[in-house]
Amino acid sequence: MQITQLSRKNIQALTPYQSARRLGGKGDVWLNANEYPISPDFNLSARQFNRYPEAQPQAVIEGYARYAGLSPDNVLVTRGGDESIELIIRAFCELSDSVLYCPPTYGMYSVSAETCGITLKTVPLTADFQLDLAEIERQLDGVKVVFVCSPNNPTGGLIKRSDLLKLLQITAGRAIVVVDEAYIEFCPEATMTNELANYPHLAIVRTLSKAFALAGLRCGFTLANPELIGVLQKVIAPYPLPVPVSDIAAQALQPQGLAEMRQRVADVLKNRQWLIEQLQKCSQVERVFDSEANYLLVKFKDGQKVFQALWDQGIILRNQHTALGLANCVRITIGTPEENQRVVQAISELS
Ligand SMILES: *Cc1c(COP(=O)(O)O)cnc(C)c1O
């Protein structure tokens, strides 16, 4: 008997998340994972590693609560935002329940649900990448968790606040609504944190991987009301955060770290504007979609050709050709000014 055949049927059938790293490539310009292009510098202050860490390190919880304008009992710290996504599914979904999400969007909602053996329901975004609320409402039977990403990865735009509020109303008492705010630092006024007081079934996913430039740290958060946080506390691993991770996360959430993050955001917005203007001059470019995040979704006349040509030159972008409704689209992370120039140069050379 093969070991694979001993694994659960849904794991045998599972296509793992195609992370940017896993897809490989030999590049010197990495613009495929929405990382910040330059690392911040930290020194470890922790010197003791013989004891288990705090389950929910106080300095990180208090630092993030202060930053988010919430109270510490609204905050759960996790191994990246990805662990928050999985915890919510594990804690709330029976095997007979389903998870609903709206493609094209972040791939981990489906991978996490499939890993847990939970049924998926999809309600595609409308042509302008907004929620199809009427269809979501029709599909709600048996749905326990709804995932919405805003700004949406990979399309880049925000989901209308009025639609998020309607979604919260139609799901009240029935399902958890997860608003994934992985990119909210690039448009902080759009956050839903101020709605937590009104909706006990709202959970917000956050991360230090994007604007905080700490993807290598693996640190994320769930923001919710204390009752929902308490449910997740029951299923999270006993010591999720290694001491070096909480040490650096706490430093990143100090006033100095927050000021550096806000400077990074300002730089990204400036470089994004430059990149939009340059791309719009390229004959290969059909459309640059509006973005509120640190990446641009771009539709080309021949997206496959653009993606491959840049890949061959060591410029690694994220191909979206097979994502729902995104034929010939490529997602480009905003890099350093030099990296952005390389992208524009390479694209403009393709006639
Ligand atoms: C990057 C990202 C996350 C979380 O990433 P982590 O590195 O696990 O914190 C969550 N949602 C979306 C949409 C993302 O792009």
220-223 and 202-207: which strand pairing?
A: antiparallel
Per DSSP (E only), the strands in the chain are: 29-30, 75-78, 98-101, 119-122, 143-149, 176-180, 202-207, 220-223, 285-288, 295-300, 315-316, 318-319, 329-333
CA distance 94 to 3: 27
CA distance 108 to 37: 23
Task: Please tell me if the CB atom of residue 181 comes closer than 6 angstroms to any atom of ligand 1.
Answer: no
CA of 207 to the centre of ligand 1 (A): 6
Burial of 5 (0-12, 13-18, 19+ CB in 10 A): exposed
Handedness of CA 237, 242, 243, 248 (dihedral sign): negative
Task: Please tell me if the CB atom of residue 220 comes closer than 6 angstroms to any atom of ligand 1.
Answer: yes
Task: Residue count of the chain, please give it.
Answer: 351
CATH number of 3-38+257-349: 3.90.1150.10
Phi, psi of 129 (to 5 degrees): 60, 40
Phi, psi of 296 (to 5 degrees): -125, 135
DSSP class of 184: G
Question: What local confidence, expressed as pLDDT, does residue 20 receive?
Answer: 72
pTM of the predicted structure, to 2 decimals: 0.97
Looking at the chain, the domain(s) classified CATH 3.90.1150.10 span 3-38+257-349
CA of 109 to the centre of ligand 1 (A): 11
Confidence check: pLDDT of 24 > 80: no
Task: Please tell me if the CB atom of residue 78 comes closer than 6 angstroms to any atom of ligand 1.
Answer: no
CA of 111 to the centre of ligand 1 (A): 13
Handedness of CA 10, 11, 14, 20 (dihedral sign): positive
Q: Which atom of ligand 1 is nearest to the CA of 83?
A: 8
- 86-107 pLDDT, tens per residue? 999 999 999 999 999 999 999 9
Confidence check: pLDDT of 307 > 80: yes
Query: What's the pLDDT band for 48 if we cut at 50, 70, 90?
Result: very high
Task: Please tell me if the CB atom of residue 222 comes closer than 6 angstroms to any atom of ligand 1.
Answer: no
Question: What number is the average pLDDT over the span 131-147?
Answer: 98
Q: At what angle do helices 337-348 and 303-312 cross, to 10 degrees?
A: 120
* Site to substitute for ligand 1 among 210, 214, 320, most atoms within 8 A of C-beta: 210
Q: Which atom of ligand 1 is nearest to the CA of 85?
A: 10
Looking at the chain, the domain(s) classified CATH 3.40.640.10 span 58-256
Identify the helix (H) or strand (E) that includes residue 252. helix 243-252
Torsion of CA 21, 26, 28, 29, to 10 degrees: -50
CA of 195 to the centre of ligand 1 (A): 21
What residues form DSSP beta bridges with 332?
296
DSSP string, 82-125: HHHHHHHHHHH--TT-EEEE-SSS-THHHHHHHHTT-EEEE---
Q: How far is CA 46 from CA 242, 247, 248, 257, 278, in A?
A: 11, 6, 9, 18, 45
Task: Please tell me if the CB atom of residue 212 comes closer than 6 angstroms to any atom of ligand 1.
Answer: no
Residues 6+ apart with CB under 8 A from 318: 20, 31, 32, 33, 154, 330, 331, 332, 333
Q: Which atom of ligand 1 is nearest to the CA of 219?
A: 9
From the list 191, 194, 219, 192, the residue with the least C-alpha distance to 207 is 219
Confidence check: pLDDT of 18 > 80: no
Task: Please tell me if the CB atom of residue 182 comes closer than 6 angstroms to any atom of ligand 1.
Answer: yes
CATH number of 58-256: 3.40.640.10
Task: Please tell me if the CB atom of residue 247 comes closer than 6 angstroms to any atom of ligand 1.
Answer: no
- 205-259 pLDDT, tens per residue? 999 999 999 999 999 999 999 999 999 999 999 999 999 999 999 999 999 999 9
Phi, psi of 104 (to 5 degrees): -75, 130
